[in-house]
Structure 1
Amino acid sequence: MTNKIEAENFIQDLAKVAEVRANVAHSLGKMSETLETAELVGKQSSGELGLAREIEDIKVASKNLRDGVFRLMVLGDMKRGKSTFLNALIGENILPSDVNPCTALLTILRYGNEKKVTVHFNDGKSPEELDFKIFKRNYTIDPAEAKRLEKENKQAFPDVDYAVVEYPLTLLEKGIEIVDSPGLNDTEARNELSLGYINNCHAILFVMRATQPCTLGERRYLENYIKDRGLTVFFLINAFDQVRESLIDPDDAEELEEAEAKVRKVFHANLAEYCVIDGQDIYQERVFAISALPALRRRIKDSFASLEGTGFPEFMSALSYFLTKERAAQEFRQAQILASQANSHVREAIARRKPLLDEDVNELKARINSVEPEFKKLTEIRDEFQKEIRTVRDKKARVVADSFRSYVLSLGDTFEADFLHYQPDLNFMDFLNNDKREGFEAELKKAFEQYINDKLAAWTITVENEMDAAFLQLSRMAAHYGASYSKVTDKITEKITGKKVNSFSGYGEEDDSPTWAKWAMGLFSLARGNIAGMAMAGAGFDWKNILLNLVTVAGVGTIIATITGITLGPVGLALLGLGVGVMQADQAKKQLVQVTKKELVKHLPQVAQEQWQPVHDAIKECFDSYEQEVSERIDDDIQSRQSELDNLVKQKEEREINRGEELARFEQLETDVLSEYEKIENVYNNFVRAIT
């Protein structure tokens, strides 16, 4: 990997990926059109070949590639310079950066032919289109207002879900989409919204500030929402140029070197643990000191001005390497596997059909009847695999639900030590002042919500580990049942045609698995933008999104509200009853923790009992969705094999099949599909050679 690239080179790298995407998408599209046409013609000749599932999968993959983008999510606390950084990255001063514009507004920046902003609401209102000036005016608040809202645990724009900013910029046109999140110290509801987007982004750009090294809020977020989740994170230490400005003598080179080294040391101590993958230290490839404001000033004057000395060339080099040499390569490999699979299936279907063209109808019917036991065996394999999935489902759903119950019941054991981290901003004596009590209660509620949210986030790591293990187990089962399934289908072919039809795959034993097994094993994907660390790497089935929607949003949100409401309600009365007014601040603090713990522990059994079933059902739903997709794919395969034979019989009964014309048609079909597959193969191989 080169040490640095400038903005122009970054654009060129993205353009190469966009070109490959377009070429592969075009070839997949041509392949699906060829197969569709062949099946239509087949209805009037020797019958369809049963390629409906291949056509559907190829169409989806082609569309995903045509629409493909690298989705980057920008995270960071308020006043870290996120908007300035984004403006510098895209090369134009689009997002407001003089004040904090999006305290509670998640913004998606994507390419559009025209400049416009669309605000989407969460209260049923129709989306609203705005120009940039009105957007900045209506959805910008000053820092003082942002701080007040944060203190009161309120959202600046509670009726807004998110905004989409469209802009005709080269960076966006070449395949970058940016999600600009609210500040980390925004409400817990907004944090949950951000988590939903995190799971569907390729990389996270975590913006920090050199003059405010690793605050409590940043450490809290990293510990609870980033650590051990298999996410790709680039840490950007912004405003590094201000380290010089903080010196008594900015021109003292020795003093500057010492000050910068001290800042780097602090960040390394706090971020190093998040930059280890499979035991390998990649800190230098993930953490960058940048100066966004100088970079923005240069790029406003010249889009391709040198950004030397701002940290951007080093960062863009690492980002480009990750996106083009890692993510894009995986994306194109998936398309290659899908194309190879379609090419093999077409050739195998034709090889099965050719020997049957001259068969007598009655003889063909007799042969079809002879393989009924084999088709029954295929359904038995499906049923056996379904049972295995349900066994794993029931076990994991109970294990996870039980772990949730145990975890919730144990919260009181460490409450005193845990809750200390959430109290630094609480002025306990404000509780005694009637005019300030409401503000104190709001602060306490926010601190308590953060505590509960973080504890539940820590528990979800256990859930993810359990689910990873479960789907790895199912992947192995899919390989086993797939092998058994292939043996049966080979026997069907032999009994029908009178000879063995060899596999036309070129990737070894694993590629001989039936399509449904490949999907169940995670060997090819039809998903978009999923970066979640999974045992089924790149799998088309995205259980993390299902789990996020069903547990984090539906279940955990309810849990937080429930625990907060039933615990904090009686705390104030209890404190007054204990005479806290005559205590010193430190005594009041201890008393508050003890009373809060008492109320918490009192209600934990209720929460654990009430939420056990929703958690159990959410986990069960993940496996049910997996089972449904697997079953549908197996049924499609069985049905296509049966209809492939039935179609031939029907055509033979209705008309005389011209064997010569059919053989010529099959030869042309094989040639056309192979041609598109070879184009994809060549594009992929050339891309791999170019990046290695």
Structure 2
Amino acid sequence: MSIHLEQEVSDFSERRLRLAGAITDYSNWLDKQHGIDAERSLRLTDAATSLRQDKLVVAFVAEFSRGKTELINALFFSDHGQRLLPSDAGRTTMCPTELFFNAGEAPALSLLPIETRRREESLTTLKHMPIEWCRVSLDPTDPRQMQQCLQKLTETRPMPAVEAIELGLWSGEDASERHQLRADGTVEVPAWRYAMVNYPHPLLQAGLIILDTPGLNALGAEPELTLSVIPSAHAVMYLLATDTGVTRSDLEIWQKHVHRHANYHVAVLNKIDMLWDELKSDAEVQAAIERQAEETARVLKLPRSRVFTVSAQKALVATIKHDAALRLRSGIESLEYLLAHQVIPSRRDMLHHAVSREVMGSLEESRSDLDARLKRSSDELVQLTQLSGKNRELIEQTRASLQQEKDSYDATAVHFRITRKMLQGQGEQLMANLSDATLDDICSAGRAVMEGSWTTHGLTHGIRQMSEQMNDRLLQATKMADSMLESLERAYVRFHRDHHLPKMQVPRLDLGAYRHRLKILMQETDAFCRDPANLLLEKNFMIRRFYGGLVEAARKAFSLARTEAERWLRIALDPVMTRIREHKQYLDTRLSSLQRILENMGTLHNRMAQIKQEVSDMRHDKVALSRIAAQLVA
């Protein structure tokens, strides 16, 4: 692991924590101002918590024996002086493996038995059921103990072929797998369905998650990986081997599980040291490697710049032996550069955009409100200065004029409350389109279409119906939000025109990303159903497993859309109500002050002194807010 890569991940982690701290400071600032409301407090707390818990997910995907685990060792764990993850010949990870760090738990290897594939629960659900996992403690200070424990990732077990077929782990129809059938009717299958490694490595502590996904069979057997886990990864490294080129199974994994779904994906042509020939010049060797890279780019339909050539094994050896020349020749530094200068900055920009959407809009409103309050107080101070030494009649005229202004304002506020009550009703209807009950009804209806058949035709029809109904609900919610926005904007314009409140703008509710996600899931369904391997017979187990993974992914998309709609409703209705209350309180305070002055002219100078202090306090608050804003954009 290069120092530069470690520094970039560390900087990324520090940036996240600074942003989270700035959001907490802003929440405290608001609380000091006028007592932050519960909704806004919850929103800011959620934003800060999400930042602190955010992870950068890099998935490594490949068919077996492409050197994927060795590459993970070379990129991230070479400082151990030996292989951490098992990657010797014939001894490689047999199940999807997730490497992360959770400070709240002791370092450990957690293994999910393969038999849990018979269960209905998703992997996401099972992760929250510790009793289902076999746990092995890890000692980070003893690399050999860790290496021995992690050998469990390579374990297999015999299983009757009938059961293996039912669980989608073996297919007698696949000529490449028939030889695995033993005389006793068993086949060898992975002992574990999924593995999680909680380990205090600096990169993992900084928020990196590494996902190792082995082989076409493992991906096909766990639709949740291809429908949710891999698409949500921030980068996918797809490995091929120089000695095999792009095989049929390589291309199948690429087409089915990678190129359409990953946020950012590259191809890594591994084992280039097999082309190193001492009887050829360096130029000839490099030309041979370049031809392989260009052919890989052509077959995968990728730009050449997205195909990397490396020797993971030589990179690991070079790092352990401190051989700078060998490390440079291995090509590993180009991948480290990619992670440090493209993947990490891309995620950093996404986080900044999310913070801007969630916090900066609110902060700009706070800045605008503070400016308005400063102007009002300054204007009042000027007015009171002009009234100093005047007679009671002139002060009474000022109070009467202010009373008229307040009466007009109250009438506008009453009208808006009627509008707001109407909008709240529409908001409830909007949220009903995205409720858990609505989603349950849609999923139940989709499942009912498939019940009794469980054929690929039934699956297609049921999932298409489910997807169309979900998409329709998202469209209805968007249309209702657009209608609400028109009413809000008319009310905002009236407050600005008639009472000089700062202009208020609410962004349009955009659920397009979640509709796009449902569209992708529909495409996945069509691809699954067109796959000849799934058309041969009614694969009840695999279809149920695919359906379960699809519903899980659809629920997540629907839930995120609901959260987005809830957030939009809050930012659409809350700010104007806050401003209405504040402006009303301001008018009431001024009227009360003038009344006291009329009753006792001696209070005029006391009020002027009070306003001067308020103006001074607000200027200090403005400086503090500017400092918080600078932290959010730094």
User: TM-score scaled to structure 2, two decimals?
Assistant: 0.66
Residue of 304, 315, 318 corresponding to 1:298 = 318
In structure 2, what is the Cα distance between the partners aligned to 1:615 and 1:306?
44
Residues 144 and 502 of structure 1: CA distance in aligned 2, closer, same or farther (over 3 Å) = closer
Equivalent in the alignment of 1:162: 195
Residue of 108, 111, 117 corresponding to 2:99 = 108
Alignment of 1:50-199 (within 5 A): 52-90=38-76, 91-92=78-79, 93-98=83-88, 99-110=90-101, 116-119=107-110, 122=126, 124-125=130-131, 128=135, 130-131=137-138, 136-137=147-148, 140=151, 145=156, 151=170, 152=187, 154-158=189-193, 161-169=194-202, 171-186=203-218, 188-193=220-225, 195-199=227-231
Report the CA distance between 1:72 and its aligned residue: 0.9
- Asked if structure 1 preserves the Cα contact closer than 8 Å seen for 2:232 and 2:263, the reply is no
Q: Could you list the runs of 5+ residues in structure 1 that have no partner in the other structure?
A: 1-5, 41-49, 276-282, 414-451, 504-511, 523-534, 564-589, 684-692
In structure 2, what is the Cα distance between the partners aligned to 1:36 and 1:78?
56
In structure 2, what is the Cα distance between the partners aligned to 1:343 and 1:75?
42
Equivalent in the alignment of 1:270: 299
Equivalent in the alignment of 1:221: 253
Alignment of 1:476-555 (within 5 A): 481-482=484-485, 484-492=487-495, 499-503=499-503, 513-514=505-506, 517=507, 520-521=509-510, 535-536=512-513, 544=517
One-letter identity of the residue aligned with 2:20: A
Residue of 312, 328, 338 corresponding to 1:318 = 338
One-letter identity of the residue aligned with 1:268: A
Alignment deviations for residues 627-653 of structure 1 (CA, whole Å, 9 cap, x no partner): 445445545446545654687799999
Equivalent in the alignment of 2:367: 347
Residues 489 and 680 of structure 1: CA distance in aligned 2, closer, same or farther (over 3 Å) = same
In structure 1, what is the Cα distance between the partners aligned to 2:567 and 2:310?
46
Report the CA distance between 1:654 and its aligned residue: 11
User: What's the secondary structure of 2:217's corresponding residue?
Assistant: coil
Residues 298 and 111 of structure 1: CA distance in aligned 2, closer, same or farther (over 3 Å) = farther
Alignment of 1:379-390 (within 5 A): 379-381=421-423, 383=425
Specify which structure has the bigger relative contact order, considering alpha-carbon pairs within 8 angstroms and separated by 6 or more residues: 1
Residue of 615, 619, 623 corresponding to 1:671 = 623
In structure 2, what is the Cα distance between the partners aligned to 1:547 and 1:412?
18
Report the CA distance between 1:296 and its aligned residue: 0.5
Residues 336 and 286 of structure 1: CA distance in aligned 2, closer, same or farther (over 3 Å) = same
Report the CA distance between 1:173 and its aligned residue: 4.7
Q: Could you list the runs of 5+ residues in structure 2 that have no partner in the other structure?
A: 113-125, 171-186, 381-398, 597-606
Report the CA distance between 1:95 and its aligned residue: 1.6
Report the CA distance between 1:666 and its aligned residue: 2.9
- Asked if structure 2 preserves the Cα contact closer than 8 Å seen for 1:11 and 1:174, the reply is no
Report the CA distance between 1:290 and its aligned residue: 0.8
- Asked if structure 2 preserves the Cα contact closer than 8 Å seen for 1:238 and 1:291, the reply is yes
One-letter identity of the residue aligned with 1:286: R
Equivalent in the alignment of 2:417: 375
One-letter identity of the residue aligned with 1:78: F
Does residue 21 (structure 1) correspond to residue 12 (structure 2)? The answer is no
In structure 1, what is the Cα distance between the partners aligned to 2:239 and 2:157?
19
Report the CA distance between 1:102 and its aligned residue: 3.1
Residues 544 and 29 of structure 1: CA distance in aligned 2, closer, same or farther (over 3 Å) = same
Alignment deviations for residues 201-241 of structure 1 (CA, whole Å, 9 cap, x no partner): 21111222222223333322222222333521121111111
In structure 2, what is the Cα distance between the partners aligned to 1:665 and 1:411?
71
Report the CA distance between 1:674 and its aligned residue: 2.0
In structure 1, what is the Cα distance between the partners aligned to 2:279 and 2:467?
49
Residues 404 and 89 of structure 1: CA distance in aligned 2, closer, same or farther (over 3 Å) = farther
Residues 14 and 480 of structure 1: CA distance in aligned 2, closer, same or farther (over 3 Å) = farther
- Asked if structure 2 preserves the Cα contact closer than 8 Å seen for 1:299 and 1:305, the reply is no
Report the CA distance between 1:138 and its aligned residue: 5.3
In structure 1, what is the Cα distance between the partners aligned to 2:146 and 2:336?
29
CA RMSD of the aligned region, Å? 5.6
Report the CA distance between 1:321 and its aligned residue: 2.7
One-letter identity of the residue aligned with 2:264: T
- Asked if structure 2 preserves the Cα contact closer than 8 Å seen for 1:18 and 1:175, the reply is yes
In structure 2, what is the Cα distance between the partners aligned to 1:298 and 1:347?
55
Equivalent in the alignment of 1:243: 275
Report the CA distance between 1:97 and its aligned residue: 1.8
- Asked if structure 2 preserves the Cα contact closer than 8 Å seen for 1:104 and 1:186, the reply is yes
Residues 289 and 409 of structure 1: CA distance in aligned 2, closer, same or farther (over 3 Å) = farther
- Asked if structure 2 preserves the Cα contact closer than 8 Å seen for 1:71 and 1:179, the reply is yes
User: What's the secondary structure of 2:85's corresponding residue?
Assistant: coil
In structure 1, what is the Cα distance between the partners aligned to 2:8 and 2:551?
49
Residues 139 and 552 of structure 1: CA distance in aligned 2, closer, same or farther (over 3 Å) = farther
One-letter identity of the residue aligned with 1:485: L
- Asked if structure 1 preserves the Cα contact closer than 8 Å seen for 2:13 and 2:207, the reply is yes
Report the CA distance between 1:542 and its aligned residue: 9.8
In structure 2, what is the Cα distance between the partners aligned to 1:113 and 1:306?
39
Residues 316 and 293 of structure 1: CA distance in aligned 2, closer, same or farther (over 3 Å) = same
In structure 1, what is the Cα distance between the partners aligned to 2:50 and 2:629?
18
Higher mean C-alpha deviation, range 83-92 or range 361-370 = 361-370
- Asked if structure 2 preserves the Cα contact closer than 8 Å seen for 1:24 and 1:680, the reply is yes
In structure 2, what is the Cα distance between the partners aligned to 1:386 and 1:237?
53
- Asked if structure 1 preserves the Cα contact closer than 8 Å seen for 2:241 and 2:269, the reply is yes
In structure 1, what is the Cα distance between the partners aligned to 2:411 and 2:263?
53
Equivalent in the alignment of 2:389: none
Residues 9 and 181 of structure 1: CA distance in aligned 2, closer, same or farther (over 3 Å) = same
User: What's the secondary structure of 1:163's corresponding residue?
Assistant: strand
User: What's the secondary structure of 1:162's corresponding residue?
Assistant: strand
In structure 1, what is the Cα distance between the partners aligned to 2:475 and 2:263?
19
Residues 255 and 621 of structure 1: CA distance in aligned 2, closer, same or farther (over 3 Å) = closer
In structure 2, what is the Cα distance between the partners aligned to 1:409 and 1:502?
61
- Asked if structure 2 preserves the Cα contact closer than 8 Å seen for 1:181 and 1:194, the reply is no
User: What's the secondary structure of 1:186's corresponding residue?
Assistant: helix
Report the CA distance between 1:288 and its aligned residue: 0.6
In structure 2, what is the Cα distance between the partners aligned to 1:348 and 1:147?
69
Report the CA distance between 1:181 and its aligned residue: 2.7
Aligned length: 539
In structure 2, what is the Cα distance between the partners aligned to 1:465 and 1:240?
47
User: What's the secondary structure of 2:327's corresponding residue?
Assistant: coil
One-letter identity of the residue aligned with 2:369: A
Alignment deviations for residues 375-430 of structure 1 (CA, whole Å, 9 cap, x no partner): 322343455577678789999x9999999979x999889xxxxxxxxxxxxxxxxx
- Asked if structure 2 preserves the Cα contact closer than 8 Å seen for 1:483 and 1:513, the reply is no
User: What's the secondary structure of 1:371's corresponding residue?
Assistant: helix
One-letter identity of the residue aligned with 2:492: T
Larger Rg: 2
- Asked if structure 2 preserves the Cα contact closer than 8 Å seen for 1:228 and 1:461, the reply is no
Residues 616 and 235 of structure 1: CA distance in aligned 2, closer, same or farther (over 3 Å) = closer
Alignment deviations for residues 179-220 of structure 1 (CA, whole Å, 9 cap, x no partner): 223433226443424643223321111222222223333322
